[in-house]
Amino acid sequence: MTYALIREEAYAANMQLPELGLVLFTFGNVSAADRQAGVFAIKPSGVPYANLRPEDMVVVDFDGKLVDGNLRPSSDTLTHAVLYKHWEHVGGISHTHSVYATAWAQSGRDIPLFGTTHADHLTVDVPCAPPMEDEKIRGDYEYETGFQILRCFKTRQLDPREVEMILVGNHAPFTWGKTAAKAVYHSAVLETVAKMALLTEQINPEALRMKESLIRKHFERKHGPDSYYGQA
């Protein structure tokens, strides 16, 4: 098997999606990049998880051109390609239609930062990118979805190394990380944070965003130069 490492990595990460309850049928896809080779491996389009094998992963370059594989790649491949091309630190990308995160995306709202579960992973509300203009939808839609995400990060001056997730308005979440496994990890964190935030507002419609000092403390516990979470 050529590109064995990223195929295995993408395969294993894709198989995590049903295990974590993040997908129904084939509504999701994960990719893993090989930065040296300038390619990434991604799930083939519409193939049930039960039938997937590592060798089914399709390898494409950062322009989305087929490099290796017998199957058609995920219909969202161009979105992945745009993100890899512009964000050089990203090693894996995950896209799901997980229920709570998708409901926030459909509602068009950012997810407010209400607690430490959220702050352990990012210090801002989870951004929700506004829907794209009609001519872009009619054009190269998945390619434009990548730029929709880039634009949202630029407009809001967010750093994709610190904020590793986004909601695409009326659509669903995309998450990323240094590896495909990390990207899927962020999909699961986002789903939990999305559910907790909805419940929080139901319990107390006046619930306040967490205060800044506590946000910084929790993020730095896990991510700062003096982080002390996990094993050294």
Write down the least CB distance from residue 172 to a copy of itself, Å.
Answer: 7
d(CA 151, CA 71): 31
Q: How many CB atoms lie within 10 A of CB 155?
A: 11
Task: Select 103 or 150, whichever has its Cβ closest to a copy of itself.
Answer: 103
Determine the interface stretch with a copy of itself among 29-37, 81-89, 152-160, 164-172 (rule: CB under 8 A): 164-172
Of residues 108 through 147, those in contact with a copy of itself by CB under 8 A are 108-109, 114-117, 131, 134, 137-138, 141
Catalytic residue selected from 120, 125, 141, 143: 120
The alpha carbon dihedral of 25, 128, 153, 226 has a sign of negative
Reading the block at residue 69, the tokens are 């594989």
State the burial class of residue 206 (Cβ atoms within 10 Å of its Cβ: 0-12, 13-18, 19+).
Answer: exposed
Task: Select 27 or 147, whichever has its Cβ closest to a copy of itself.
Answer: 27
Pick the binder of a copy of itself from 2, 25, 38, 53 (CB under 8 A). Answer: 25
Q: What is the dihedral of CA 196, 197, 200, 206, to 10 degrees?
A: 170
124 near 163, Cβ under 8 Å?
Answer: yes
120 is an active site residue: yes
- Residues tagged active-site: 120, 229
Task: Give contact residues for a copy of itself (rule: CB under 8 A).
Answer: 24-25, 27, 44-47, 71-72, 75, 97, 99-100, 102-109, 114-117, 131, 134, 137-138, 141, 170-172, 185, 188-189, 192, 195-204, 207-208, 210-211, 213-214, 217, 221, 228-232
